[in-house]
Amino acid sequence: MGTYILHGLILAGYAVATVIYFRHFWTRQPRTGFYATLCLVLALVFHSAFLIARGFESSHAPFVGLHESMSFFAWLIAVVYLFLERRFHDRSLGVFVLPLVLAAQAASTAFMSPVDPLPPLLQSPWFNFHVTASFLAYAAFSFSFITGLLYVMQMYYIHHRRVGLVFSRLPALGMLDEMNLKATLIGWVFLSAGIATGIWWATAAWDSITPWLLDPKVLCVMLTWIIFTSQLVTRYTMGWQGERSAIISMAGFASVLLAYLGAGLWTNLHIFD
Amino acid sequence: MHLTLVGLSHHTAPIDVRDQAVLTKTLQEKALSFVRSSSGILEAVLLSTCNRSEMYATTDEEHTDPRPIEAWFHEIHGLDEGVLSPYLYHRKDEAVIRHLFRVVSSLDSLVVGEQQILGQVREAYMQSLNTKTTGVVLNRLFEKALAVGKQVRETTEIGAGAVSVSSVAVELARKIFKDLRQHTAMLIGAGETGERTAEYLVDQGVKRLIVANRTYERAADLAHRYDGIAVSLHDGLQMISDVDIIISSTGATEPVLGRERMADLMHDRRNRPIFLIDIAAPRDIDPRVRDLYNVILYDMDDLQSVVDDNAESRKVEARKVEGIVESEVDRFLAWYQNLAITPTITQLRHFADDLRHQEVDRALAQLGHLSEKDRETVDKMSRAIVNKLLHQPTVQLKNTADPEHKDYHLYSLRHLFGLDEQGNDRNGTGNE
C-alpha cells in the first residue's frame, strides 16, 4: 500500500511540475518558475526516497528490471536537468525534459514488480559499474536528443521567418549546439566505459564470444556507439556543427531507445538491465 | 483636492513644437521651485521625454483651473502666451489617473510596448521626491503607476518582439549566437538602418566591428564613431571568413557577395554559422546562398515581415493591457475618492469640537460649585453627544459607493454646516 502511495506522489509531483513548467514557459513569471522548480524538487525527494527504500529492500542497487531501471533513468534525467537549470539560470528546457521524465516514471509504474533476487550472473562487482555507466550515458544522450531537437526547431523557425513566441523562449542556436556537443561527449565517454566493462565482464563469464556478441542489445548498443562517434568525428573533421550534428544526435537517441526497450523484448542475456 | 494634468505629446504636437517644450533638467528644477511657491498647487511631478512634456499636479478646490499651469508652460520656455495652447491637453481627476497608467504601460507611446517610459516615469517621480514637491496623492499615484507598469511588462507580451528592422536583426543575432562578445560583425556600405544595426550590435557587446566602405574616409569616420576598425571594401570582402555577422547596405547594382564566393568562404570557415543581413536595395547578397549549410540570410523583406508580425502581436497584447489599466484605475479611484471625504470629516469634527468647547466652558463658568469629578462628567457627556451625533453621517458618507452621490453628499455637508465659510477653513484641504 505504502509503495502505491509513494508512486502516486512521485507521478503527481512530476505531472504537476510539468504543467507548471509549461505555464512558466508561456507567462515567464518568476513566481511560476519558482513553483515549477519547487514542485520538481519535491517530486525528486519522494523519488529518491523510493529508490533508496527499494535498494535496501532488495539489497542491490535499484536498477534491475524494467520497473527499477526506468525509474532510475527518470530520476537521473530529472537530477541532471535540475543541475543544468541552476547552472544556466534557464528554465526553458524544462518543458521538454519534464515530459520525458514523466513518461519514463509512468512506464516504470506500469511495469511495477516485486523485488527479485539478483540472478547469479549479475552478482558481480562489474554489475554496478557497467549499469551505472550505461545509464549515465543514456541520460546524457537524452539531453543530446532534446537539445538537438530544439536546435532543429529553432533553425526551422529562423529559416522560415517564424520568429514568434516559442522562438523567443528557446535558447540561442549557439547555446543549444554547445549543450548538445557537451552532452554527447559525456554520453560517449560513459557509453564507451559501459561497453568496455561489458566486454571485460563477458569474456570472464563466457568462454566464447558468440553468445554475447550476437545479443540484440549488444548490437544495438554498438550501433549507438557508432552513431555518436560519427557525430563527433564529422563535427571535428568536416565542420558538421549545428543542424547536421543535431540530427545525428537525434538518430543516436533513437538507437538508445531501440537498445533499451526494443532489444529487451527478444534478448536473453540482458533481460535484467 | 483635485488631480490636474496639463501637457503635450506626439499625439497632439508636431516634433518642432515638442522640441520647444522640452523640460530639461535645469528647467525642471526651476519649474518645481516655481510650483512650490505658487498658491493653489499642492503637489507636482514633471514628466519629460522626447515625445512628451507633462505636468501632474494636485490643486485645492479654488485652483482647479488649468490656465495658470498653461501660462507657466509658456513662461518657463520663454514663449509668447498661447503659442503652445492648441497642442496642450488638460485632464482632471479620473482621467489623470487613467492617462498616467496608460503612459507608464507604454500604451500612449509612439512605439507601443517600448521599455524606456517606465524608467522615465520613475526618474520624474524621484526628482519630484527630491525637491519635495509631492505629497500623499501624487506619491501614491506614482508608486501605483510604477507598479502597474511593472505588472504589465511581467504579465503580458506588450514588449515582446522587436518592432524596427535594426532591432529585429540584432534580436536574431542574439538567438543565433550564444554570446555576441565572442563574435565579430562587419558593416559593408553605409545607410541609416545599417549604421543603427551596427550601433545596436556594439551596444550588445559584439567583440569587434569592422566597417568596410568603397571610400576609406567614410569607413574611417563610421569606425571612429562606433569604436570599430575601418577597411576598404576590397579588404573587407577578404576578411569575411573571420566575421560571423555581416550587415550589407551598399549602393551597388551588382551583388557584392555571390553564391560561389560564399560557398568558398564557408569552406574556409569550416562551416561555422554566419548571419547575413542584407538591407540594400537592390540586394547585395545572392539569395541562393540560403541553400548553403549554416548560412542564415535575412533581407529587407524578411526583416520587415518579422517587424509586421511583432507589431501585430503587440496590438493583441495592448488590449489585455487596457484591461489591466482599467481595473487598476478603478482601484485607485476607490482610494482617491475617500481621500476627498477625509479632510471634510476632519473639518466637521473640528467644527463640532470647537462649538462643544465653547459651550462647555460657558456652562462650567456658571457652575462653579461643581467638584472636579462632576466637571469631568459634564465634559464627557458633551463629547459623547458630539460623537454619537456625527457617527452615522460619517459612516454613511464613507460607505457611499456611487461617486456622484458621494460628491452630492459632500457638497450638502459642507454647505449645510458652512464648512467653506470664513473662519472654518483652518483645517481645510491640506495634505495629510
Q: What is the ipTM of this complex?
A: 0.84
Residues B150 and B184 both lie in one domain: no
What is d(CA B308, CA A103) in angstroms, rounded to the nearest whole number? 39
- How many distinct structural domains can be found in chain B? 3
Across the interface, which of A29, A154, A172 has its CB nearest the CB of B177? A172
> Is B313 within the bounds of a domain?
no
Instruction: Say which of B50, B316, B334, B381 is annotated catalytic.
Output: B50
Three-class SS state of B47: strand
In a domain, B314, yes or no: no
Does B193 participate in catalysis according to the annotation?
no
Residue B225 CB partners (closer than 8 Å, separation 6+): none
B289 with B186, same domain: the answer is yes
Per-residue confidence in pLDDT tens, chain A, 273 aa: 677 888 899 999 999 999 999 999 988 888 899 999 999 999 999 999 999 988 888 777 777 777 888 899 999 999 989 988 888 788 989 999 999 999 999 988 888 877 766 666 666 777 788 888 988 999 999 999 999 999 999 999 999 988 887 888 889 999 999 999 999 999 999 999 999 988 888 887 777 766 677 778 888 899 999 999 999 999 999 889 999 999 999 999 999 988 877 665 555 556 544
Residue B329: inside a domain = no
B193's enclosing H/E stretch is: helix B192-203
Which of A30, A173, A238 lies closest to B176 in CB terms?
A: A173
| Residue whose grid cell is 453628499 | B409
CA–CA gap between residue A13 and residue A115 (Å, rounded) = 24
Q: What is the DSSP letter of B86?
A: G
Q: Are residues B174 and B92 in the same domain?
A: no
Alpha-carbon span A118 to A95, nearest angstrom:
37
CA distances, B231 to each of B128, B186, B215, B323 (Å): 50, 10, 9, 53
Q: B176 and B45 in one domain?
A: no
Same domain, B269 and B358: no
- The model's pTM: 0.75
* Number of other CB atoms surrounding residue A104 within 10 Å: 22
Asked if residue B169 has pLDDT above 70, the reply is yes
Cell of A9: 506522489
Q: Sort out which chain B residues have CB atoms less than 8 A from A167's CB and list them.
A: 175
Strand ranges across the sheet with B89-92: B41-48, B52-59, B2-9, B89-92
Are residues B42 and B99 in contact, defined by beta-carbon separation less than 8 angstroms?
no
A174 → closest Cβ in B155, B176, B306: B176
Domain extents for chain A?
1-114, 124-273
- Whether B294 and B169 map to the same domain: the answer is yes
Distance in Å, alpha carbon of B84 to nearest chain A alpha carbon: 43
Inter-CA distances, A104 with A97, A133, A135, A136, B188, Å: 11, 19, 13, 15, 52
Q: Give the pLDDT score at B426.
A: 43
Q: Which residue of A has its CA nearest to B312?
A: A164
**What is the structure's pLDDT at A264?**
59
Cα(A131)–Cα(A123) distance, integer angstroms: 13
Structural domain for B43, as ranges: 2-155
The total of other beta-carbon atoms located within 10 Å of residue A2's CB is: 7
DSSP string, B258-278: -HHHHHHHHHHTTT--EEEEE
B246 φ, ψ (degrees, to nearest 5):
-120, 125
- Contact state of A174 with B293 under an 8 Å Cβ cutoff: no
| Domain presence at residue B35 | yes
| Residues A168, B161: C-beta atoms closer than 8 Å | yes
Tens digits of residue pLDDT in B222-237? 899 888 899 988 888 8
A161: closest CA of chain B, how far (Å): 7
Q: Does residue B316 form part of some domain? A: no
Q: Is B11 domain-assigned?
A: yes
Specify whether B273 is located in the same domain as B339: no
Considering the domain architecture, whether residues B89 and B224 belong to the same structural domain is answered as no
In this structure, is residue B327 part of a structural domain? Answer: no
Residue B347: band (very low, low, confident or very high) from pLDDT cuts 50, 70, 90:
confident
Asked if B66 and B137 sit in the same domain, the reply is: yes
Which of B163, B291, B294 is the best residue to mutate to test the A interface, defined by the most A CB atoms within 10 Å of its own CB? Answer: B294
Question: Which residues fall within 8 angstroms of residue B427, CB to CB, at 6 or more apart?
Answer: B343, B346, B347, B350
B278 and B383, same domain (yes or no): no
Buried b (16+ CB within 10 A) or exposed e, B185-224: bbbbbbbebbbbbbbbbbeeebeebbbbbbebeebbebbe
In 3D space, the residue among B283, B111, B27, B290 whose CA is nearest the CA of residue A158 turns out to be B290
**Mean pLDDT along residues B174-183:** 93
